[in-house]
Every structure is written in C-alpha cells, then in structure tokens.
Amino acid sequence: MIDNYLNAELISNSQNDNKNGNQLELLINSTDEVLSQNSKSVGESIKEAFEKKKNKVIITNGDIQKFLVTLPKTDLESLRLAGASVFQALKNENSKEVNINDVKDLTELQRIAFIEGLLLSSYSFSKYKKEKSERQIKISCSPNFIDEKSLTELKKLAEAVSLTKTMVNEPPQFMDALKFAEYAVEAGKKFGFKTEILGKSEIEELRMGGILAVNRGSSVPPTFNVFHYKPENAINEKPLVLVGKGVTFDTGGYSIKVGGNMTSMKSDMAGGAAVLGIISAAAANKLPYHIIGLVSATDNKISSDALVVDDIITMMDGTTVEVQNTDAEGRLVLADALTYAKRFNPELVVDMATLTGASVAITGSFGIAMAGNAQSAMDLLKVSGEETYERLIQLPFWTEFEDLLKSDIADLKNIGGPIGGATTAGKFLEHFTDYPWIHLDIAGASFVNDAKGYRQSGGTGVAVRLLYQFIKTKCQ
C-alpha cells in the first residue's frame, strides 16, 4: 500500500566505524564546531559555503563523503525541516547508505524530531507511475543518537502517516466506500486492532438518514467503519472516540462544485483516513489507551435519485434536517456517526473532517480550525499541536450562531448562510452530541498542491501525529 524511500535501523558503535564503500557520514553541528572538528584543507571550503548561507555542504575525501549540516535553529519544527533537507540532498547525491553519529548539543527530543523529518520525507506515492520509486536509502543511527525504542516508535508512526497519505492520494475510481473498508480491515490485521464493517442494510436498520441521503446518488453502497483498540493495560475506563468524515469523492451533488473546485475532492475522506491512521499508530506502538474509531464512508455524486436542495431528511437520532445545500454533505454523514458514538459512553469524542472552505480561509494549509465543548481537552490538544506543528486555532462558538441554522419547516437547516461558515458547521454537529466533544476542520491542511519540507504534494496525513501525541501525553 505504501511506497517509502527510507529504511532506518539502529547500528552499534563498532559497525558505525566501517567506512568501506560509498558510505556517508552525517555530522550535525554548529558552524564553529564543524570548523574545529575538520582539517584546515576542508575547513576553508566549509567556511566559504557557510558564508554563502548554505546550510549543508558535501566534502569528498577518497571513498568517504562527509555530509555537514548546520542548524541555525534548534526548535523541533526546524529540526524536522533539517531532516527533510538532508533527505532531499541524499536523494540528489544518489546515496544508498548514511550513518548518523552522536551530536552532543541536541536533546533527545531534538534528535527524535530530526529523524522524524527524515522519515516523513521518505514517503512517495508512485503506484500509477510508469517508473516506480523503488530505490531506498539506508539510514543507520548510532545508539548515542537515538535509542531503539524511540526509533521503532517513529518508524511505526511514520508508517501510519504514510497509510493515511496513500488512502487520500488514491484516485476516486479506486478508493470508494468498499475499498476504504478493505483498507481498514487490512490495517487492523497489520497494526493490531479490531474492525467492524457495517453495510448498507445495517446502516438502514440504524436509520442513519444522513449517510443514506448523501449516498443516494451513488452506485457504490456506503460503509460504516468501526475500529476497536482496547489493550489490557488501558488506563482509561471510558473510551476516546475518534470520528472521521469518509466522503471518498465530493462533486457537491446538485449544488455542484464549479470553477475548478472539484479538483482534489478525492481528499474529502482525509478525516476518515486520519482516524484509521491514528488508531493504527496507537495500536502499533501499544499505547495503553482505549480508542474507538468511527468512519462514515460514501461518495457524493449525482444521479436521478440523488439528494436535492429542499429535501428534508431524518437523522439517526430523529432530528429532521432541511437540505439547503447538497455540498454541505460532510456534516450529514458525521452527524449520524456522532449519534452512534453515544452508545460507547465516551470520555471524549474528537471528530475530524475536511468540512468547510470557510476554515481554509482562516487557516490556509498552515493549521486546523477547532471548536467544541471540552475546553481543558482543547487546551491540551493545542499543546500537542505546537509540539507536532499541526497547529490549532479555536473558532468562536457563541450560541448566536445556532440561530443561523433554524429552519421554518424542520428542526435544522444544513447550512447557516455566509456568516461564520466554519462555526455554523460545528454548531450543526454539536446538536448531535451530549458528551465532551472536539471538532477539527482539517480542510486546509489535509491536501496541498506544492511540496514543502517533509510534506509531499497531495495528502499530508494531518491530524495523525497530532492525535497520537495527544493520546501519548494522556498516557504519561
């Protein structure tokens, strides 16, 4: 399912001294340290490179190449970006193997961030290319640089992020609701959690009117995907429930997307893919936390039977909704999942979805819009957002926004008009909750056109590292 360039492993100090073949030695130091630790013959060339404000230089000395990197900033995100820069340089040099040695001035967290940048940069999606990305670079880490436990954890986390990216990058004719369920079952077997897939007849029995309404225009039946991860040593009595939007392609329905806005709508299931990625990472690394994942999967296409504006639908909890825009479908599939979450008596529910263009106008690709009723949990999630650089901005969530969703002929409208679109979408979802709850609108950060740093173009896997860190913090 996943293409990766990087193969990271831990090596012993004695192995690290082997300089045979086309081997690279990665030295990470400040400018002064680099100059003091290398001979005068190479020192001048290094100095010249630094004066030109280059942050890396490769010096060839016989069969040995030394790859020198300066770190003008040592915050965690700068170190991830440094790792990404190094990985790109290694590719450019056609390197096959590199050793990472001890660095005295970096803390454990800083070293982990550097390796994380390397690992995240190694992802490639070449399934549909004539020339596949099969070449790998072997990264060997000294135990003095990173311990085996941390390296293993990073590799499993990066693999879960890669799974998420791949699912988002798959074209819509492949990644439909049935294929989403297949991926989920395969991930459960691989990473160690249980999967339960509900088909259309079971969804009808549950009277999930939102999912069924959005699916009316599709030739592919919907699936409702339930993931269970409950380790024996779980520290939480009530589960954390993660809910994801799994709209595998969004035409907008009869409120059709125009002006090129339909391009990249294969990414409208990024929230559902992130839920699968998060629970995969937690299970793979055996975090002692009880987690349940819920993903409503369908596409939003057009046919003679498709949902139209002015239809009134009945949701799983009996709420009637006047449809005023068929392109506001994500909240309909999420609402039924939020209702389903009540049966688990959750400690907290976190939903994630590519929900609104209004949130993109607020965050761009730089972060995630957040709302909810669990302020202490939101504050903790903000800290995790800063640590992972998947940052959060909290939306205004005043009760006045609820009035914008009032309908004259039903309990709710599915849109609130031009004011506060990201907030009114959240307010619609809030109606279906009676538990501590956080809403994450990942529309801006889930899919990018231009590669930058350790993020490739296409699916970014956003929210996987964020929620993994959030859960890991709660385990400490």
Strand partners, 439: 351, 371
Instruction: From the candidates 156, 165, 216, 331, give the one annotated as an active-site residue.
Output: 331
What's the Cα-to-Cα distance from 315 to each of 115, 138, 201, 226, 255, rounded to whole Å?
Answer: 46, 52, 16, 19, 21
Q: What's this model's pTM, rounded to 2 decimal places?
A: 0.90
Mean per-residue pLDDT for 242-247? 98
pLDDT at 398: 97
Please state, as a whole number, how many other Cβ atoms lie within 10 Å of the Cβ of residue 467.
26
Evaluate if residue 285 carries a pLDDT over 80: yes
Are residue 405 and residue 432 in the same domain, yes or no? yes
73 lies in which domain range?
Answer: 3-146
In whole angstroms, what is the distance from residue 436 CA to residue 442 CA? 20
Do 103 and 186 sit in the same domain of this protein? Answer: no
Same domain, 129 and 209: no
Tokens of 336: 């039924």
Are 26 and 118 a contacting pair, CB within 8 Å? no
- Computed over every residue of the chain, the mean pLDDT equals 87
Last residue of a domain, one of 146, 170, 185: 146
Residue 82 inside a domain? The answer is: yes
- Residue 138 lies inside a defined structural domain of this protein: yes
Is 381 part of any domain? yes
Calculate Rg over the CA atoms of the chain.
24
Predicted confidence at residue 10, as pLDDT, reads 55
Rounded average pLDDT over 122-134: 84
Q: What CATH number does residue 58 fall under?
A: 3.40.220.10
% of the chain at pLDDT higher than 90: 73
How do residues 147-197 score in pLDDT, each as one tens digit?
Answer: 899 999 999 999 999 999 999 999 999 999 999 999 999 999 999 999 999
What mean pLDDT is predicted for residues 87-113?
A: 79
Of the residues 146, 166, 196, the one at which a domain ends: 146
Q: Tell whether 109 and 219 lie within a shared domain.
A: no
Verify that 304 and 390 share a domain, yes or no: yes
Tally of domains in the chain = 2
Cα-Cα end-to-end distance for the chain: 32
Please give the angle made by the CA atoms of 325, 326 and 329, to the nearest 5 degrees: 110
Per the annotation, the verdict on 391 as an active-site residue is no
- CA–CA separation, 456 vs 120, rounded Å? 9
Average pLDDT over residues 5-15: 49
- The confidence band for 237, taking pLDDT boundaries of 50, 70 and 90, is very high
Whether 136 and 213 map to the same domain: the answer is no
Distance CA 214, CA 329 (A): 6
State the Cα torsion 170-264-269-421 to the nearest 10°. 170
Residue 14 has pLDDT above 90, yes or no: no
SS3 at position 254: coil
Q: Please identify, among 107, 126, 146, the residue that sits at the C-terminal boundary of a domain.
A: 146
Q: Are 92 and 105 in contact (CB under 8 A)?
A: no
Helix residue spans in 320-364 (DSSP H) = 330-340, 357-363
Domain-located, residue 122 = yes
Same domain, 57 and 175: no
pLDDT tens digits, 427-438:
999 999 999 999
pLDDT digits (tens, 9 = 90+) for 404-435: 999 999 999 999 999 999 999 999 999 999 99
Closest to 315 (Cα-Cα) out of 431, 153, 175, 222: 431
Residue 151 lies in a domain: no
Q: Could you tell me the pLDDT band of residue 145, with boundaries at 50, 70 and 90?
A: confident
The domain spanning residue 201 has which CATH number? 3.40.630.10
- Reading the block at residue 296, the tokens are 């409503």
Q: Identify whether residues 298 and 230 lie together within a single domain.
A: yes
* 456 φ, ψ (degrees, to nearest 5): -80, 165
Assess whether pLDDT exceeds 90 at residue 85.
no
User: Are 303 and 403 part of one and the same domain?
Assistant: yes
- Are residue 209 and residue 292 in the same domain, yes or no? yes
Which of 127, 257, 342, 382 is catalytic? The answer is 257
- How many beta carbons lie within 10 A of that of residue 40, not counting itself? 7
How far is 82 from 469, CA to CA, in rounded Å? 21
Same domain membership, residue 182 and residue 106: no
Amino acid (one-letter) located at 306: A
| Dihedral of alpha carbons 452, 456, 457, 460, sign | negative
331 as an active site residue: the answer is yes
Q: Burial, 365: exposed, middle or buried (Cβ in 10 Å; 0-12, 13-18, 19+)?
A: middle
Range of lowest pLDDT (59-63, 106-110, 231-235): 59-63
Q: Are 125 and 166 in the same domain?
A: no
